[in-house]
Amino acid sequence: MTFACRFPRSQHLVGVVAVITVACNSGGTGGSPYISTDSGFDAGLRSGFWLKGDLHAHSLHSTDALDSPVGDVFAKAEELGFDYFSLTDHDNHVQGNITTWADPAYRSDKMILLYGVEWTSGRGHANIFGTKPYDYAPLWATHDAGDGATAIAAAHAQGLSFFINHPASKDLWECGFDLDFDGMEVWNALFAFVTSNSVAMTQWESILMSGRRMTARGGSDSHHQKDLESMFFNIGNPTTWVYAREKTAAAVLEGLEAGHVSIAYAPGAERLDFTADTDLDGRFETMIGDNVLGRDGKMIRFKIDIAHPRAGTTYRVAVLKNGAPFDNWESQDTTLTFEDTPAAASRSHYRVELRGPTPEAPPVSAGAFGDLIGLTNPIYVSFP
């Protein structure tokens, strides 16, 4: 049996197993104390690291974030234990002359740094990521017209990643969802209020149902470290976890585009792992973002793990298949297995949402966070 990674019903639970202590290693290993190393699938089948960070944040190089020096933002990110990080300042605030990366404070000995910009056009916003500073002139040339297709092509010509932002917010994505972007932000800032994340989730599911694999990520869109906003949320709300094969910027972007991504409401919150045993040999070799080939019409066993669980917490886990509720689970257990047989000669996708208490939310804004703790990207079956 094979599965493909994307680069550049039984209708009942067959086993809710006993509580398992899931590795929670905030200290990391291998001489890199800031790297998180726990994984949800069987050790030895694929080496790598779960890395946490934020992919949408601003500094004083955006004129609406003048109270946020780069050094202050980086200090906060390091305090939160981020493994990687990127600032994504607005391109139109500096007329396309990106100044963020030249800031002397744009450095860290504790985090993997990406180089990002928010393409801020009148027809939608998007974050563009690279592993090093890049020539922004070709992208700025597309700004005034809001030409998403040309912007995406310009990004890809330099080997950059292009992720659309908050597509259902006041800055709607109006360039079309059939363009060749690499992924989309479905969780911006606080999940429940005042954002339109539920609409973005519906847009994402529509793309998945069309037969296109699409990475979903989060982004705090934090602008302020010192004013009222910082009391309600900050960088890391939400946190995007990326499974990377190694501790490099290139591997982070590779894992991001491949959909090896799980999102949590806060840096110290629980993280969902979702894996599959496609050949029923007892080893869960398939992970979030993988595309399973040759198993339509045949049984697959799935496993859900809650990493970094809180003792005594009752969780609500929902499994969605092809965008619709498939099954759910309410328990204090932290591992769940279930089986399903995808329809023959058809594609399917499965993903998981975790709900329950969100104690890491600031008390002043806890209601705006809602009860969504985290969500996964899909495991795909027989997608192109």
Identify the pLDDT of residue 8.
40
Q: What residue numbers bound the domain in which 297 lies?
A: 2-381
Give CA separation, 53 vs 40, 102, 113, 222, 335, in Å.
18, 21, 10, 13, 25
- Written as one letter, the residue type at 281 is D
pLDDT band (50, 70, 90) for residue 261: very high
Residues 7 and 289 sit within 8 Å (Cβ to Cβ)? no
218 compared with 12, residue with greater pLDDT: 218
Read off the pLDDT of residues 185-207 as tens digits, 9 standing for 90 and up.
Answer: 999 887 777 668 989 999 999 99
pLDDT band (50, 70, 90) for residue 35: very low
Read off the pLDDT of residues 326-339 as tens digits, 9 standing for 90 and up.
Answer: 999 999 999 999 99
Q: Where do we find the tokens 């040339």?
A: 141
How far does the chain reach from its first CA to its final CA, in angstroms? 16
pLDDT (average), residues 244-267: 97
Read off the pLDDT of residues 309-328 as tens digits, 9 standing for 90 and up.
Answer: 999 999 999 999 999 999 99
Exposure letters 204-239 (e unless 16+ CB within 10 A, then b):
bbebbeeeebbbbbbbbbbbbbeeebbebbbbbbbb
Rg (CA), the chain: 20
pLDDT (average), residues 243-251: 97
DSSP 370: T
pLDDT (average), residues 30-50: 52
pLDDT (average), residues 349-360: 96
pLDDT band (50, 70, 90) for residue 39: very low
pLDDT band (50, 70, 90) for residue 42: low
Could you give the CA distance from residue 317 to residue 329 in angstroms, rounded to a whole number? 5
Identify the pLDDT of residue 224.
80
pLDDT (average), residues 167-173: 87
Please state, rounded to an integer, the average pLDDT across all residues of the chain.
87
Could you give the CA distance from residue 255 to residue 261 in angstroms, rounded to a whole number? 7
Q: Which two tokens stand for residue 47?
A: 């080496």
Could you give the CA distance from residue 74 to residue 106 in angstroms, rounded to a whole number? 8
Of 233, 267, 274, 263, the closest CA to residue 375 belongs to 263
Could you give the CA distance from residue 268 to residue 65 in angstroms, rounded to a whole number? 25
pLDDT band (50, 70, 90) for residue 303: very high
Identify the pLDDT of residue 41.
52
Identify the pLDDT of residue 364.
79
Residues 29 and 37 sit within 8 Å (Cβ to Cβ)? yes
Number of domains in the chain: 1
Could you give the CA distance from residue 165 to residue 186 in angstroms, rounded to a whole number? 8
Which CATH number belongs to the domain containing residue 250 in this structure?
3.20.20.140
